[in-house]
Amino acid sequence: MFHNLRPRHTFHNLRPRHTFGIYRYIQEGRHIILEGASGNGKTFIACALGVAACRNFLKVRYIRLPELLNELVVARGEGTFKKVIRTYQKVQLLIIDEWLLRTLSTEQAMDLFEIIEARTMGGSTIFCTQFDPRGWYQRIGTPDDNTVSKAIHERTPRVVTAESQ
């Protein structure tokens, strides 16, 4: 009697003919910015897209920006910085959560630029943020770092925005 109430398509039961649209942006090398207030489901949506990509045998990595920045500091100290950059370059979909939650220092901005620059040659990135991309300039480094801020901003084109209502 109630069998008609079940959803027809979820991320778990999509057939390949339906999933192409879900991960086509990855194949085209496009980026996604999910913007909204805390608790609006940005991370959930990003992870759902990541799971869909994994189910289609794509390499996906999820990381929070504070963890990424810590990993880069450690890699620089251990002399493995370029190796870490290459691992992020090889991932087909990189999901960065808590994007620019804090203002970045000059060194953090430069390290982040290395990741973003390495990914411009291929792969997609999903940015989960609470801030409008027009305000990213003020959150990337100091006012003297305008060149780095502009370079990062130019390499993260605005494709999709999930804003709160």
Complete DSSP assignment for the chain: --GGGS-S--TTT--HHHHHHHHHHHHTT--EEEE--TTSSHHHHHHHHHHHHHTTT--EEEEEHHHHHHHHHHHHHHT-HHHHHHHHHH-SEEEEESTTSSPPPHHHHHHHHHHHHHHTTS-EEEEEESS-GGGGGGGSS-GGGHHHHHHHHHTS---------
* Residue 5 clears pLDDT 50, i.e. is over it: no
| Contact by Cβ (8 Å): 19, 55 | yes
124-129/93-97 β-pairing:
parallel
What number is the average pLDDT over the span 8-29?
58
Q: Which residue has the higher pLDDT, 23 or 82?
A: 82
* Residue 72 clears pLDDT 60, i.e. is over it: yes
Structure tokens at 25: 């942006």
The pTM score is: 0.78
Q: Which residue has the higher pLDDT, 142 or 90?
A: 90
Structure confidence at residue 70 as a pLDDT band (50, 70, 90): very high
* Residue 74 clears pLDDT 90, i.e. is over it: yes
112-153 pLDDT per residue, tens: 888 888 887 788 999 999 988 888 777 887 666 565 656 665
* Residue 25 clears pLDDT 50, i.e. is over it: yes
Domains delineated in the chain? 32-154 (3.40.50.300)
Structure tokens at 150: 């502009």
Nearest to 66 by CA among 123, 120, 128: 128
Compute the Cα dihedral for 69, 129, 149, 60 and give only its sign.
positive
Range of weakest confidence among 7-21, 30-44, 118-132: 7-21
Using alpha carbons only, give the angle 65, 69, 71 rounded to the nearest 5 degrees. Answer: 115
